[in-house]
Structure 1
């Protein structure tokens, strides 16, 4: 059975949200705008399954080829990205060090992401646009100092990310990667969010990334160095997590920078990030035009 899929999209220059059903999309924003102006308010209200159940009784309002997909969570307060969170990814550094004691992390801006089927932009400043397929947690319940034992209760949904990275720019500074991780439209989120229902739903998901049909990344979330419970606990120690916050949980080995020579993305390439029971996030690549 296909799990519920809730998306943010635009049609006729209007931003809407809805549920993907029967090859189309049910416009839920037209029916629930008073209670939930966007999906972020529905997330905060714990209403995702209510929306999905309503949509299941309806016929699509829009064909999928008539909409523009947008990142599913509009205007998140925080997008927190985790680095080096798979064992083979840690081994890529060849520094002889064991797995880190604490997770590496950095923040990204909403503007650095596009939605499903919108091209990633290779910037004028660099030709080193790289891909990183990742599973994403969407926070549904606020919390600070969240215990690991109850951490998963704070998840509202899951989605996918291509955490597009400008490789030479992440090395510009001694300690930070911020500039190489925040170029406009370099990454993507989506296509939709799938409501979280149980730990078994996310405990051991197969995550793969393909470039032009060629498998480049392939791993399982059951192998994460820092699991979902720990990440929520750790992050909430220094910042209050709020509904709509996005946690991008790390990428497997196999990004383009790790090939010899490196295999960076170029215009015309197509990148697909796929996870079991979530879907496929697909994006082409274009050059920046100013």
Structure 2
């Protein structure tokens, strides 16, 4: 009972001191709270409606909580100068892009949570530096990335290969395909690698010169490639050709008929002429 009473008396004092330390830190960015527990600085900016990561986070921060915000992009400058960072919680934002160099300088990073965001793809380079450092120092490094609308194409083939072999750095929990449609709802680690393909890009990124293709098919340099006409145009042209042919046939029939009529008329006139001459002789 004495121990319980002592704890009950001490707890309010500790809580007051804790709040005082948090509020008294002039380096803590608004509207975040900063707490130093056993020499490890934690900065919490959770649920503050942030659209980007605050630029003035203390450089000695070890644990950074940024969940439940509206952050959309992680740039190469988002964590600049935070070399002591051990963990970053970015879950439940609206992140749709992470720069390949966003975590490059975070050599002591141990855990990153990018779950429940709007990520459709992720470059293998994003966490390469952190993984390399962790292996060299023989410590853990892990990334949580569940519940994102992943586009399971060639851009995520590298991740599928790691998940299939039992990755020690990437969580396979709820890594579900959203696109393409024929893979929607399937777990990425269960998708055959030969189905993770990318559609050909059109426009400036297309590596195929269409004129070269046509010249290959048609060897004559001056010849023009035959392009398929639109269906409506082809139908109208066909109808015109049929009508023109029909009209021509009718004209030919009429001309032939007139010629035949003239021929028989002339022939009949020649036959009647001798008969009239005989009648005149008899008279």
- Report if TM-score (shorter chain) is over 0.5: no
TM-score computed with the length of structure 1 as normaliser:
0.25
Could you tell me the TM-score, scaled by structure 2's length? Answer: 0.26
Name the one with the larger strand percent.
1
Higher relative contact order (Cα pairs below 8 Å, separated by 6+ residues): 1
Bigger fraction of residues in helix: 2
Larger Rg: 1 or 2? 2
